[in-house]
Amino acid sequence: MSLRIFILNGVNLGTLGHRQPEIYGTLTLNDIESILRHGFQSVSFEFRQTDHEGEMVGFIRESTGFSGLVINPGAWTHYSYALHDALKAVDIPKVEVHLSNVHAREEWRRASVISAAVDAVLAGMGACGYRAAVEYIIECSKG
């Protein structure tokens, strides 16, 4: 059976590729999806993006049947206790990803209420952070 990994992208990430490319790069979410599908052909992926916090909570709840979850919560990182609580209720490997190095940016971006609810955090690696997150979940699945 192949691994199933859920990739969730939050608020404003649908604008990747043209929103502040000097910070977030020029790749779109479709580009990142293609990179992952091509790079991990034995993995079954499901990708979702939403700008609605309640919808993201619902997506997280759907992740229980997956081998792992990669989430880039965007700005929800800094204040969404609803996402934190939803992530805590899911017992699969979970990785928080940020394209930019949030620790080198504005001070308010350095605080995450999500990090305590996931197994690993990656920041500042651009799209490579998604690849590293998938590799982590693959390793976790080996036991």
Phi, psi of 89 (to 5 degrees): -85, -5
Question: Where do we find the tokens 């000097």?
Answer: 22
The pair of structure tokens assigned to 127 is 């799209």
Instruction: Reply yes or no on whether 98 is catalytic.
Output: yes
Instruction: Reply yes or no on whether 81 is catalytic.
Output: no
Residue 82 contacts residue 57 (beta carbons within 8 Å): yes
Candidates 38, 79, 98, 130; catalytic one: 98
Question: Where do we find the tokens 């997956």?
Answer: 66
CA 59 to chain centre: 12
- Active-site residue list: 24, 98
